[in-house]
Amino acid sequence: MLAAGEIHSRGTPSAKPSSPRGPDVPPTTFAPETTPTNTADAIALEARVGLSAKPKTLSPWLFYDEAGSNLFEQITELPEYYLTRTERSIFAAHAAEILHEAARNQGPAGKLTLIELGAGTATKTGILLAEAVRQQGSVVYQPVDVSETALAEATDNILSNIPGVTVRVQVADYTREALPLNRLPNTRTLALYIGSSIGNFTPEDARDVLRNLRAQLLPGDTLLLGTDLAPNGAPNANKTEAMLLAAYDDTAGTTAAFNLNVLTRLTRDLGADFDTENFRHRACWNPTQSRIEMHLESITAQRVHIPANSSGSALTINFAAGETIHTENSYKFTTAAVDSLLRAANFEATKSWQDPQHLFAVTLATAL
């Protein structure tokens, strides 16, 4: 089911994955196979279960069809969405120190291998990969993601921009499946889980995701975790609830379009009859749970239909005016919450970096 394709970058920007050459480059293949996690069956089941529940819910993985992935890329460039650029600025300022710290338990002959959970198109990872090549001459990079197209884009970007990187992609759902840790002798693993991706999980699920990762690491391996900070997340934090809300309800309406796109997807993929005009985007801050919630609010009382499919018979969904579908949680952390989450998964936070405004934290943790 799972297949890893391996590609090595060469020194030239015009390198083509399919025709590697050069004296120090082993033969390569690139044949990832898709693990069907986003199939029609999975969507049908998710919609049936979520829309029959009270309150109604839909899982955030449904956002990321082609249109949704493009909208998310647009979100990362919005003025209000500080997360991506802030994390990138932390990498830019501290990459050397981050990599040195991760390599601390490393024998002199050994190298760090970087593995990335939910790599997507890996746009921020380049900073860390380039620094790893600077420090150790070359690096093996293993991005894991459910999206084969995102991984292909990531591979292209990295191979053409960062000489010295060997890319081994794996199309897999890292929350459930094993990671491609076919480890070379004398290497240590630095696992990257960045971009505040962990924020989509409840604290229990987040702990389980990290435990699954930890089970596949050796003591002394490291994890670099990117978390968005709560308004009270760090001493002198310069973050207000208003900033948080704006990041999830921008004036251009891109986040609204991203949220509403899930209904367009269900209409297309399941033959449902959602009218996006009858719903509106809502973002709210839940201080008790320390999370931003995104909802789709039904503007009027209405009925929506989903035809019979692999998950069961035809479904009629009743909405009251003002009723919502809860589509996403985005948890925001205090530094203490990050430390205890890591602890619960048998990691120990060793060093943490923040931007000058204390909006975002990047934490290095060692597997115990």
Q: Which residue is nearest to ligand AVJ (CB)?
A: 330
Closest to ligand AVJ by CB, 309 vs 363, is 363
Output the CA–CA distances (angstroms, integers) from residue 142 to 154, 155, 235, in the order listed. Answer: 11, 10, 35
Least distance CB 100 / ligand AVJ (angstroms):
27
Residues binding ligand AVJ: what is the number (CB under 6 A)?
A: 11
Phi, psi of 207 (to 5 degrees): -60, -40
Closest to ligand AVJ by CB, 189 vs 330, is 330
8 A C-beta contact, residue 333 and residue 318: no
Query: In the chain, where do the E strands start and end?
Result: 4-8, 56-57, 111-117, 139-145, 165-171, 187-193, 222-228, 279-286, 291-298, 302-306, 315-319, 324-331, 347-354, 360-367
3 state DSSP class of 283: strand
3 state DSSP class of 258: helix
Q: What is the crossing angle of helices 125-136 and 148-161, to 10°?
A: 40
Least distance CB 250 / ligand AVJ (angstroms):
9
Closest to ligand AVJ by CB, 65 vs 328, is 328
Q: Is 298 a residue that touches ligand AVJ (CB under 6 A)?
A: no
Closest to ligand AVJ by CB, 145 vs 328, is 328
Q: Is 230 a residue that touches ligand AVJ (CB under 6 A)?
A: no
Least distance CB 330 / ligand AVJ (angstroms):
3
Closest to ligand AVJ by CB, 77 vs 97, is 77
8 A C-beta contact, residue 44 and residue 311: yes
Give the contact letters, 58-97, x = binds to ligand AVJ (CB under 6 A), - = no: -----------------x-------x--------------
Closest to ligand AVJ by CB, 259 vs 366, is 259
DSSP string, 292-338: EEEEEEESS-EEEEE--BTTBS-EEEEE-TT-EEEEEEEE-B-HHHH
Least distance CB 199 / ligand AVJ (angstroms):
5
8 A C-beta contact, residue 263 and residue 276: yes
Residue written as token pair 């996006």: 276
Calculate the CA 194 to chain-centre distance. Answer: 7
8 A C-beta contact, residue 113 and residue 187: yes
Least distance CB 38 / ligand AVJ (angstroms):
16
Phi, psi of 111 (to 5 degrees): -135, 155
Of 308-347, binders to ligand AVJ (CB under 6 A) are 328, 330
Q: Is 248 a residue that touches ligand AVJ (CB under 6 A)?
A: yes
Least distance CB 229 / ligand AVJ (angstroms):
12
Of 156-215, binders to ligand AVJ (CB under 6 A) are 195-197, 199-200
Closest to ligand AVJ by CB, 6 vs 328, is 328
Closest to ligand AVJ by CB, 121 vs 255, is 255
Chain residues in the site for ligand AVJ (CB under 6 A): 75, 83, 195-197, 199-200, 248, 255, 328, 330
